[in-house]
């Protein structure tokens, strides 16, 4: 498939084409069994008919809070067939962060696993747009009769006929709202069209020469990397994707051998975890050829030990994959060259003045064809305008470019933290911690981790007369935040440094080396 066939980049159409050509071939592989393209197509249509019966219409926003099981694939593809907008939700969210995503997205319906149901009743009074819940999982029928403050039903009881719904959907129609970390505010919803998601998926196939190869996906499908580079890429090439609930170091290589996977979806922290295991006689006894890693380094030690390459690209939810290198033309430490078929890419200073080779600045992007980058952040016009100022999409990532046009990632310019493959909003952490009765104010930020990403550090100014301990503050965070947001380091200080505009000068805090670790 070529980029010129933009009109064909519609999720439902891609599935239809794949089913016509590969009906009996395997699309999804799980530890407990496989599903063919034909089997997936039948269930997708049955789910779509069931959601249609509940009143889901084109353009409706439907939140999805499901683990890496067949249900999440069926629901996402069914919504795409209906022209509805999927809102994938991180399954670790609870409390205020979960409420924010459900409220900000204007989701009218929530499809969720019963594993997470207890998180919803306390939020219902503050979710005026949410009308009903559809439950999945072994106890869905029973739990649908439990009082949750909303109409509830079990997905298994809604399934309709296996006929595809006749809903026209275009490449420029919205397919999803993907939530990413905020900077000076809560997490923002990136509006994603069908062409936006599928162009990134197609790019992943082309730049990594993944056509016809089986992919191994230990990443959650509520993230773009798992959904686009895992599921959608497999559909585009008529291939298979092996999906597991989460990354497990002890099961990784056995999974790769069982599934005969040649490509592994990865975040950078996975590689040092695997490298830290003792060497063994089967280190090269596997079919894996490459890890697909964003914003990382090409680790020669990985290749020497496991015979596998870690291929680095630059990807961002807002714009897909604007920087990469043709297969085999990688440079150590570089995320690649501009994807010039589809994007203009540049490095600019604070005033959007173009910088030359070797000069560090912000990476900015603009598309050459329509609908392949986000149209903005849902319900956030000011943030959208800031992102797209001066006709560039601003990534808030600092890079430099060499004389040959290869880009090198330096750091994040935004107030966000990257931990365990998750983008974390420092603002979200600070909002919760500031509710602690013994806290006057606080600042959260990332500090280097031995796994190559960030750990979370929290600096706290106690309220007058109060003396909270780091352990108490960590436990408070555990009760209110997803596990990956809980600080690893906590420091108590008398005051926070300020800029001339009275903002917290986190660059001064980051420069300190005296961290007080708190067990997490």
Residue 145's pLDDT band, with cuts at 50, 70 and 90, is: confident
One domain, residues 119 and 252: no
Q: Residue-wise over 235-260: b if at least 16 C-beta within 10 A, else e? A: bbbbbbbbbbeebeeeebbebbeebe
User: What would the mean pLDDT of 335-345 be, rounded to a whole number?
Assistant: 93
**167, 190, 213 — which closes off a domain?**
190
| Judgement on whether residues 14 and 83 belong to the same structural domain of the protein | yes
Q: Does residue 519 form part of some domain?
A: no
For residues 38 and 20, give the distance between their C-alpha atoms in angstroms, rounded to a whole number.
Answer: 9
pLDDT value of residue 296: 52
Average pLDDT over residues 397-409: 91
Q: Which residue among 164, 190, 216 closes a domain? A: 190
Given this model, what pLDDT does residue 409 score? 84
Do 429 and 406 fall into the same domain? no
Query: Are the CB atoms for 181 and 318 separated by under 8 Å?
Result: no
Residues 363 and 434 grouped into a single domain: no
* pLDDT tens-digit map of 246-304: 999 999 999 999 999 999 998 767 887 888 889 999 999 999 999 887 655 556 788 89
Question: pLDDT above 70 covers what percent of the chain?
Answer: 92
Residues 47 and 148 in one domain: yes
Radius of gyration of the chain (CA): 23
- pLDDT, average across residues 23-27: 98
Residue 65 φ/ψ, nearest 5 degrees: -125, 85
| 221 pLDDT more than 80 | yes
Categorize the per-residue pLDDT at 184 as very low, low, confident or very high, splitting at 50, 70 and 90: low
Structure-block tokens of residue 400: 């430099």
Q: What is the C-alpha to C-alpha distance for residues 16 and 11, in angstroms, rounded to an integer?
A: 9
- Which of 140, 169, 190 is a domain's end point? 190
pLDDT top residue among 435 and 186: 435
Q: Are 372 and 199 in contact (CB under 8 A)?
A: yes
Q: Are residues 245 and 283 in the same domain?
A: yes
Helix (H) or strand (E) holding 202: helix 194-207
Residues 492 and 468 in one domain: yes
The answer to whether residues 380 and 424 belong to one domain is: no
pLDDT at residue 3 greater than cutoff 80: no
| Chain mean pLDDT for the chain | 89
Helix, strand, or coil (residue 181): coil
Examine the domain organization and report whether 420 and 398 are in the same domain: no
Per-residue pLDDT at 122 exceeds 80: yes
Is there a single domain that holds both residue 276 and residue 406? Answer: yes
Residue 320 placed within a domain = yes
The residue among 454 and 324 whose pLDDT is bigger is 324
Please enumerate in sequence order all residues whose Cβ is within 8 A of that of 40, keeping only pairs 6 or more positions apart, or say none: 15, 27, 28, 70, 73, 74, 77
Residues 447 and 373 reside in one and the same domain: no
Give the pLDDT band (50/70/90) at residue 519.
very low
pLDDT at residue number 299: 64
Establish how many alpha carbons lie within 13 A of residue 464's alpha carbon, considering only the half-sphere containing its beta carbon: 0
Reading the block at residue 322, the tokens are 């604007």
Max Cα distance, the chain (Å)? 71
pLDDT, average across residues 304-310: 90
- With a cut of 50, say whether residue 514 has pLDDT above it: no
Range of the domain at 56: 6-23+32-190
pLDDT in tens, 78-109: 999 999 999 999 998 998 889 999 999 999 99
Is the distance from CB of 151 to CB of 108 less than 8 angstroms? Answer: no
3-state secondary structure of 455: strand
Question: Is 520 part of a structural domain of the chain?
Answer: no
Residues 165 and 289 in one domain: no
pLDDT on residue 503: 66
Instruction: With a cut of 90, say whether residue 498 has pLDDT above it.
Output: no
Min mean pLDDT across 185-199, 223-237, 262-276 is at 262-276
Kindly list the strands in the beta sheet with 174-180, ordered across the sheet, starting from the edge strand earlier in the chain: 151-154, 132-136, 109-113, 61-65, 85-88, 174-180, 188-193
Position 516 in a domain = no
CATH number of the domain where residue 39 is located:
3.40.50.12780
More confident residue, 147 or 254: 254
Give the mean pLDDT of 115-139. 95
């Amino acid at each position: 498939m070529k980029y010129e066939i933009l009109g064909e980049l519609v999720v439902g159409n891609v599935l239809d084409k794949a089913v016509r050509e590969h009906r009996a071939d395997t699309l999804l592989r799980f530890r407990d069994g496989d599903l063919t393209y034909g089997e997936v197509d039948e269930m997708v249509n049955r789910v779509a008919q069931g959601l249609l019966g509940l009143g889901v219409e084109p353009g409706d926003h439907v939140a999805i809070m499901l683990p890496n099981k067949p249900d999440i694939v069926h629901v996402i593809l069914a919504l795409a067939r209906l022209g509805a907008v999927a809102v994938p939700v991180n399954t670790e969210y609870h409390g205020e962060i979960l409420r924010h995503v459900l409220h900000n997205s204007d989701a009218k319906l929530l499809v969720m696993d019963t594993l997470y149901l207890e998180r919803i009743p306390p939020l219902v009074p503050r979710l005026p747009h949410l009308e009903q819940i559809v439950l999945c999982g072994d106890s869905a029928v029973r739990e649908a009769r439990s009082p949750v403050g909303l109409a509830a039903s079990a997905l298994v009881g809604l399934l309709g006929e296996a006929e595809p719904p006749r809903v026209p959907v275009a490449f420029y129609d919205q397919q999803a709202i993907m939530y990413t970390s905020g900077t000076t505010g809560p997490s923002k919803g990136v509006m994603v069209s069908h062409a936006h998601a599928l162009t990134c998926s197609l790019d992943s196939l082309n730049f990594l020469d993944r056509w016809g190869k089986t992919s191994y996906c230990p990443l959650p499908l509520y993230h773009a990397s798992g959904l686009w580079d895992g599921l959608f890429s497999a559909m585009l090439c008529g291939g298979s994707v092996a999906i597991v609930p989460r990354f497990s170091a002890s099961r990784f290589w056995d999974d790769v051998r069982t599934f005969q996977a040649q490509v592994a979806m990865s975040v950078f922290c996975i590689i040092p975890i695997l490298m830290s295991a003792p060497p063994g006689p089967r280190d090269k006894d596997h079919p894996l050829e490459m890890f697909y890693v964003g914003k990382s380094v090409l680790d020669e030690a990985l290749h020497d030990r496991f015979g596998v390459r870690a291929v680095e690209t630059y990807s961002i939810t807002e714009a897909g994959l604007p920087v990469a290198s043709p297969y085999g033309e990688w440079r150590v430490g570089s995320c690649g060259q501009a994807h010039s078929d589809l994007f203009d890419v540049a490095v600019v200073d604070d005033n959007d003045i173009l910088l030359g080779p070797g000069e560090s600045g912000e990476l900015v992007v603009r598309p050459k064809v329509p609908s392949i980058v986000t149209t903005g952040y849902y319900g956030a016009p000011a943030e959208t305008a800031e992102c797209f100022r001066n006709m560039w999409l601003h990534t808030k990532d600092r890079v430099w470019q060499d004389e040959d046009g290869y880009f090198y990632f330096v750091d994040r310019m935004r107030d966000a933290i990257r931990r365990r493959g998750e983008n974390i909003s420092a603002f979200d952490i600070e909002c919760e911690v500031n509710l602690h009765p013994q806290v006057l104010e606080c600042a959260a930020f990332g500090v280097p981790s031995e796994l190559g990403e960030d750990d979370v550090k929290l600096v706290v100014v106690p309220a007058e007369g109060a003396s909270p301990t780091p352990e108490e503050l960590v436990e408070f965070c555990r009760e209110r935040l997803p596990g990956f947001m809980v600080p690893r380091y906590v420091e108590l200080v008398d005051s926070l440094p300020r800029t001339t505009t009275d903002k917290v000068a986190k660059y001064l805090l980051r420069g300190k080396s005296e961290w007080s670790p708190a067990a997490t």
